[in-house]
C-alpha cells in the first residue's frame, strides 16, 4: 500500500507543479465551449433541443478527463527513458501495486482536470439541474478517469517508443471523443455511426454525466455505470497483465 500511495502522490505532485500544463490544458475545452457552445447554440435551439451549452458541457468535461487520463501513459515512457521505471521495477514490491499506483495517479490527475473544466463550464453559463447530483457526477468522472488511465497504462506498457505512443493517441483519442456523442445527440444517428458510438466507452460516461447534470440520458445512468464498471475491470486487468510483462 505504501508503494501505491507514493506513486499516486508522485503523479499528483507533478500535475500540481506544472502550472503551464494546467493553463495550456484549458485551450481545447475553451475552444469547444466558445466556438461550438455559443456558435451552434442558436441552431441547436431552433431545432427544439434547448440550450447547446447545457447539452455539450458534460461532453467537454468528458473530453478533458479522457485526454488527461490517456496522456498519463506518456509519463511511463518518460520514466522508462530516464531510468525511473527501471528503479521502480527492481524494487522488492509486486508489479501489480506499481501498476495500481500509477493508474490511480493518472486517474486522480484526470479528475482534477475535469474539476477545473467543470468550474470553467459554470463560468460559461452551464447550470446543473440539481446541486445534489454534482457529487454523483464526480463519482462518474472518477470512473471514466480510471477506465482510460488503465487503458493508457496498458498501451504505455506495450509501446517502447514515444513516437509510437503519439501515433496511437492520434488514432485512438480523437475517435473516442468524436464517437462519444459529446457534441451531438445520440438520437436519430445513421446505423453505422450509432453502432460505433455504442462500442465507445466514453459514450456511456458522457451520457451518464449528462443524465445526472442535465436530466437527459439516452441509455439511463444505471446502465451507463454498469458498462463503465465492466469496461474498467477489463482495462485494469489488461493493464495489469501488460505491466507484468514490461521490460525497462
User: In percent, how much of the chain has pLDDT > 90?
Assistant: 38
Kindly report the pTM of this predicted structure: 0.89
Q: What pLDDT is stored for residue 47 in this prediction?
A: 65
Judging by beta carbons within 10 Å of its beta carbon (0-12, 13-18, 19+), is residue 15 exposed, middle or buried?
buried
Judging by beta carbons within 10 Å of its beta carbon (0-12, 13-18, 19+), is residue 76 exposed, middle or buried?
buried
Residue 234, pLDDT above cutoff 90: yes
Q: How far is CA 159 from CA 70, 118, 149, 166, in A?
A: 14, 32, 15, 10
Query: For residue 241, which of 144, 143, 149, 153 has the smallest C-alpha distance?
Result: 153
Q: Residues 232, 220: contact at Cβ < 8 Å?
A: no
Residue 16, pLDDT above cutoff 80: no
Q: How many residues does the chain have?
A: 248
Q: What pLDDT is stored for residue 19 in this prediction?
A: 66
| DSSP three-state, residue 246 | coil
Distance from C-alpha of 248 to C-alpha of 235, rounded to nearest angstrom? 22
Q: What pLDDT is stored for residue 139 in this prediction?
A: 94
Distance from C-alpha of 194 to C-alpha of 179, rounded to nearest angstrom? 9
| DSSP three-state, residue 40 | coil
Q: Residues 201, 147: contact at Cβ < 8 Å?
A: yes
Ordered alpha helix ranges (H), 34-133: 38-39, 41-46, 52-70, 72-82, 84-89, 95-124
Q: What pLDDT is stored for residue 11 in this prediction?
A: 75
Question: Which of the four pLDDT bands, split at 50, 70 and 90, describes residue 33?
Answer: confident
Residue 70, pLDDT above cutoff 80: yes
Residue 199, pLDDT above cutoff 90: yes
Cell numbers at 79, concatenated: 520514466
- Segment 72-131, tens digit of pLDDT: 777 777 777 766 676 677 767 778 888 888 889 889 999 999 999 999 899 888 999 999
Q: Average pLDDT over the chain, rounded to whole? A: 84
Kindly list the domain boundaries of the chain, sorted by start residue: 2-244
Distance from C-alpha of 72 to C-alpha of 93, rounded to nearest angstrom? 22
Residue 68, pLDDT above cutoff 80: yes
Q: Residues 159, 68: contact at Cβ < 8 Å?
A: no
Supply the DSSP symbol for 248.
-
Give the mean model confidence (pLDDT) for residues 182-187. Answer: 87
Residue 2, pLDDT above cutoff 80: no
Query: For residue 76, which of 68, 67, 85 has the smallest C-alpha distance?
Result: 85
Distance from C-alpha of 215 to C-alpha of 43, rounded to nearest angstrom? 21
Amino acid at each position: 500500500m505504501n508503494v501505491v500511495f507514493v506513486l499516486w502522490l508522485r503523479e499528483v505532485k507533478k500535475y500540481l507543479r506544472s502550472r503551464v500544463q494546467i493553463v495550456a490544458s484549458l485551450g481545447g475545452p475553451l475552444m469547444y465551449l466558445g466556438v461550438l457552445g455559443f456558435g451552434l447554440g442558436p441552431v441547436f435551439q431552433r431545432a427544439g433541443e434547448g440550450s447547446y451549452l447545457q447539452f455539450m458541457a458534460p461532453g467537454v468535461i468528458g473530453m478533458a478527463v479522457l485526454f488527461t487520463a490517456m496522456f498519463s501513459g506518456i509519463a511511463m515512457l518518460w520514466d522508462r527513458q530516464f531510468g525511473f521505471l527501471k528503479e521502480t521495477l527492481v524494487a522488492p514490491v509486486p508489479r501489480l501495486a506499481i501498476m495500481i499506483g500509477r493508474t490511480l495517479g493518472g486517474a486522480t490527475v484526470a479528475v482534477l482536470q475535469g474539476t477545473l473544466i467543470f468550474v470553467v463550464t459554470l463560468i460559461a453559463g452551464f447550470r446543473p439541474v440539481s446541486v445534489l447530483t454534482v457529487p454523483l457526477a464526480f463519482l462518474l468522472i472518477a470512473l471514466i478517469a480510471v477506465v482510460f488511465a488503465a487503458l493508457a497504462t496498458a498501451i504505455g506498457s506495450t509501446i517502447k517508443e514515444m513516437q509510437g505512443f503519439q501515433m496511437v493517441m492520434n488514432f485512438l483519442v480523437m475517435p473516442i471523443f468524436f464517437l462519444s456523442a459529446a457534441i451531438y445527440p445520440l438520437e436519430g444517428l445513421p446505423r453505422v455511426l450509432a453502432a460505433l458510438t455504442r462500442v465507445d466507452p466514453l459514450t456511456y460516461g458522457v451520457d451518464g454525466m449528462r443524465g445526472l447534470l442535465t436530466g437527459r440520458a439516452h441509455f439511463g445512468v444505471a446502465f451507463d455505470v454498469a458498462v463503465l464498471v465492466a469496461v474498467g475491470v477489463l482495462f485494469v486487468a489488461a493493464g495489469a497483465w501488460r505491466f507484468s510483462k514490461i521490460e525497462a
